Chains A and B, each alone.
Chain A
Amino acid sequence: MNIFPVLPILVPLICALGCLAARRSLAAQYAIGIGGAGALLAVAITLFAHVWESGPAIAQIGGWPAPFGITIAADLFGAILVLMAAVVACATTIFSAGTIDEPRLRFGYYGLVHLLLMGVNGAFLTGDLFNLYVWFEVLLIASFVLITLGGERRQLEGAIPYVTLNLLSSALFLAAVGILYGVAGTLNMADLSLRVPALPRDVMTAVALLFLIAFGIKAAMFPLFFWLPASYHTPPVVVTALFSALLTKVGVYALIRVFTLVFTQDTATTHVVLLVLGAFTMVTGVLGAVAQMDVRRLLAFHIVSQIGYLIMGLGLFTEASLAATVYFLVHVVIAKSTLFLIAGIAGGLRATYDLKKLGGLYTERTWLAIVFLTAAFSLAGAPPLAGFFAKLGLIQAGMAREAFPIVAVALAVSLLTLYSMVKIWSEAFWKAAPAGAGPRDGGRSPGDAGARVSPLLAAPVVALAALSLLMGLAADPLYAVADRAARQLRDPAIYIEAVLGKRPAP
């Protein structure tokens, strides 16, 4: 069926339209918002199974053959990411039902979430660079509205660097696309992969670096990440969880796609630049996190440092390092969104996100503490959790390439990650609740053991943490999946043949 690869884009679009059409009914918002995420998950599982069984799924929109028409191409890497996005969508839409207030829902919160998902899935599946730009804009405009939804002053002021930097990056991306079209005469990525080796090398390297800057801003890579910690802590926590899981990862996806499929002719320049920037991203991100006392800002800096690991895997550019990157990407998305959602629950219980004012959660909510430990140690890379295997894979790949400096950086950053996770643990969970740290607006008193955490909040968090644990326990079969995705990335002939219908000459 040719419609398979298009469905992960169509389902969120239909849901977004449905939310807009039924904007007067709150019940319909919940039903379409959560039900749509469930439908997306079903579609994503089907697509993944299809791609796993019979190779990349291709749709030529309007029946126009590539490279002339618009191609939607789902290879294994794309299908994995679509599946991951659907899982996060399910968790966050359910969590939203318990936390998002009525004015935001009436403004079309769920419709915007689905618009965002449409953009994310479109970016994961598109086969040409201009449509990648278009999907980026779709998800950006949805994220712009989501980050400012509610219109609090801090949200608006936090959104300014976010909007400015992302629009700047889009302008650079567009310029790079224009120059590339002028030189290569095509924007279909499979077609580009065939043509780029014959084009002037220095021009291609310059264009590649322009793409690196444009995607680097979106992926929150050093030195262009400062917009992220300046804005991500301002919207409701569930929005931050969704953003941290998907937005920067789309930037990383674009980097991986472009630097494995198109720009591989000058790896001595481009991929070394990637490695160096990856190392700096890890270090600056984690150092920022160590200095923070606000849970959400601390976690926001960790998004940045984890991006560094992904860039490292891409920079090493071996089959093993790419497999580890794919595994790491899925792991970090799940671990990160779990941590943000836990922060949301903890912050909701205490009406503050300040670590100094949090406390006593271990005695009061033991289950939450255990879930936090699972996600936090997974992020820090402790066995037998998913993060351990992800980092192990990256470090082994680094050793095999004899890239010892970056391996040393990765290990050191791991320790600092553990340190800042322990900081959250000891401040928010272990120490006794500080006296006089009441909620700002005279609601519940601190340490109100009677307040129940709604199952709408608890269920997604526990499910995500269980998934994180499962990813560690079933690391072997999952690594086999990541391995096959990495093989397709490292050998673009499979992708090119699927898109263009002809096997490239070796």
Chain B
Amino acid sequence: MTSVILSTATRFLLPLLLIFSVFLLIRGHNEPGGGFVGGLVAAASFALYAVSDGVGSARRALRVDPRDIGWVGVAVALASGLPRALTGGDFMTGIWHPHALPVLGKLGTPFLFDLGVYLAVVGVVLTIFFALAEE
């Protein structure tokens, strides 16, 4: 089921969707968005690629095993909770950089958590999707 139209469109849509997913991730600090929905958009873009060009091509385009993305994501989210916990505070308490940066906004451990969620969602959703599509 290969369609030239879908395949060509996907080639343009994939980078756009990935940029949009990063936009959602960064926007998620103070406005609707965040790592979860960003991760879903990123996973959906690769899923679209898998639909148009086959799971093998999508796996090659992703370059790494989605399971590795998944565990790295959970590890990053976990690590974001540790700094304050190891210094006697409560687990997952946020630590913020005092000054806002252009584009990214204020940086802090909650952003790291969001990034971890983003990666975890990409990893898990793509692992499930690829496995089901290859059945």
Query: What residues of chain B lie closer than 8 Å to A485, measured between beta carbons?
Result: none
How many interface residues does A have (CB within 8 Å)?
17
8 A Cβ contacts from A114-170 to B: none
Interface centre among A3, A6, A14, A72 (most CB of B within 10 A): A3
Are A1 and B88 in touch, CB under 8 angstroms?
A: yes
Could you say which of A58-66, A204-212, A249-257 contacts chain B?
A58-66
The answer to whether the Cβ of B74 comes within 8 Å of any Cβ in the partner chain is yes
The answer to whether the Cβ of A500 comes within 8 Å of any Cβ in the partner chain is no
Are B91 and A3 in touch, CB under 8 angstroms?
A: yes
8 A Cβ contacts from B57-72 to A: 67-68, 70-71
Are B91 and A14 in touch, CB under 8 angstroms?
A: no
Are B75 and A2 in touch, CB under 8 angstroms?
A: no
A13 to B78 alpha-carbon distance, docked (Å): 9
8 A Cβ contacts from A55-78 to B: 59-63, 72
Query: What residues of chain B lie closer than 8 Å to A62, measured between beta carbons?
Result: 90-94
Query: What residues of chain A lie closer than 8 Å to B102, measured between beta carbons?
Result: none
Query: What residues of chain A lie closer than 8 Å to B91, measured between beta carbons?
Result: 2-3, 6, 10, 59, 61-62, 72
A59 to B90 alpha-carbon distance, docked (Å): 6
Query: What residues of chain B lie closer than 8 Å to A63, measured between beta carbons?
Result: 84, 89-90, 92-94
Interface of B is mostly: helix
The answer to whether the Cβ of A17 comes within 8 Å of any Cβ in the partner chain is yes
A63 to B94 alpha-carbon distance, docked (Å): 8
CB distance from A345 to the nearest CB of B (A): 34
Query: What residues of chain A lie closer than 8 Å to B94, measured between beta carbons?
Result: 62-63
Are B75 and A61 in touch, CB under 8 angstroms?
A: no
Q: Mark A8-28, 1 if CB is under 8 A from B, else 0.
A: 001001100100110100000
Are A2 and B88 in touch, CB under 8 angstroms?
A: yes
8 A Cβ contacts from B93-117 to A: 93-94
A20 to B90 alpha-carbon distance, docked (Å): 27
How many interface residues does B have (CB within 8 Å)?
17
A61 to B92 alpha-carbon distance, docked (Å): 6
Query: What residues of chain B lie closer than 8 Å to A3, measured between beta carbons?
Result: 85-86, 91
- Given A61-B91, A62-B92, the answer on whether A20 and B71 have CB atoms closer than 8 Å is yes
CB distance from B69 to the nearest CB of A (A): 11
A309 to B110 alpha-carbon distance, docked (Å): 46
Are B85 and A20 in touch, CB under 8 angstroms?
A: no
Look across to chain A and name the residue whose beta carbon is closest to the beta carbon of B92. A62
Are B71 and A60 in touch, CB under 8 angstroms?
A: no
A6 to B78 alpha-carbon distance, docked (Å): 12
CB distance from B87 to the nearest CB of A (A): 10
A72 to B68 alpha-carbon distance, docked (Å): 29
A63 to B88 alpha-carbon distance, docked (Å): 11
Look across to chain B and name the residue whose beta carbon is closest to the beta carbon of A21. B71
A60 to B74 alpha-carbon distance, docked (Å): 20
CB distance from B83 to the nearest CB of A (A): 11
Look across to chain B and name the residue whose beta carbon is closest to the beta carbon of A69. B90
A63 to B74 alpha-carbon distance, docked (Å): 21
- Given A14-B78, A20-B67, A21-B71, the answer on whether A6 and B93 have CB atoms closer than 8 Å is no
A21 to B67 alpha-carbon distance, docked (Å): 8
Are A6 and B71 in touch, CB under 8 angstroms?
A: no
A279 to B51 alpha-carbon distance, docked (Å): 56
Query: What residues of chain A lie closer than 8 Å to B84, measured between beta carbons?
Result: 63
Look across to chain A and name the residue whose beta carbon is closest to the beta carbon of B113. A62
- Given A3-B85, A10-B78, the answer on whether A17 and B90 have CB atoms closer than 8 Å is no
A61 to B85 alpha-carbon distance, docked (Å): 10
- Given A2-B85, A3-B85, A17-B74, the answer on whether A61 and B90 have CB atoms closer than 8 Å is yes
Are B89 and A6 in touch, CB under 8 angstroms?
A: no
Interface centre among A1, A23, A63 (most CB of B within 10 A): A63
CB distance from B81 to the nearest CB of A (A): 8
Query: What residues of chain B lie closer than 8 Å to A13, measured between beta carbons?
Result: 74, 78
CB distance from A88 to the nearest CB of B (A): 25
Query: What residues of chain B lie closer than 8 Å to A59, measured between beta carbons?
Result: 90-91
Query: What residues of chain A lie closer than 8 Å to B85, measured between beta carbons?
Result: 2-3, 6
A158 to B78 alpha-carbon distance, docked (Å): 35
A61 to B110 alpha-carbon distance, docked (Å): 13
Query: What residues of chain B lie closer than 8 Å to A21, measured between beta carbons?
Result: 68, 71
A66 to B121 alpha-carbon distance, docked (Å): 28
A5 to B102 alpha-carbon distance, docked (Å): 39
Query: What residues of chain B lie closer than 8 Å to A23, measured between beta carbons?
Result: 67
Interface centre among B86, B89, B94 (most CB of A within 10 A): B89
Partner of B89, one of A2, A14, A20, A72: A2
Look across to chain A and name the residue whose beta carbon is closest to the beta carbon of B94. A62
A368 to B129 alpha-carbon distance, docked (Å): 47
Query: What residues of chain A lie closer than 8 Å to B71, measured between beta carbons?
Result: 17, 20-21
Query: What residues of chain A lie closer than 8 Å to B75, measured between beta carbons?
Result: 17
Query: What residues of chain B lie closer than 8 Å to A17, measured between beta carbons?
Result: 71, 74-75, 78
Known A6-B85, A61-B90, A63-B90; further 16 A-B contacts with Cβ < 8 A: A1-B88, A2-B85, A2-B90, A3-B86, A6-B91, A10-B91, A17-B74, A20-B70, A59-B90, A59-B91, A62-B90, A62-B91, A62-B92, A63-B84, A63-B89, A63-B92
A selection of 8 A-B contacts at a CB cut-off of 8 Å is: A3-B91, A17-B71, A23-B67, A59-B91, A62-B90, A63-B89, A63-B90, A72-B91
Residues of chain B at the chain A interface (Cβ within 8 Å): 67-68, 70-71, 74-75, 78, 84-86, 88-94
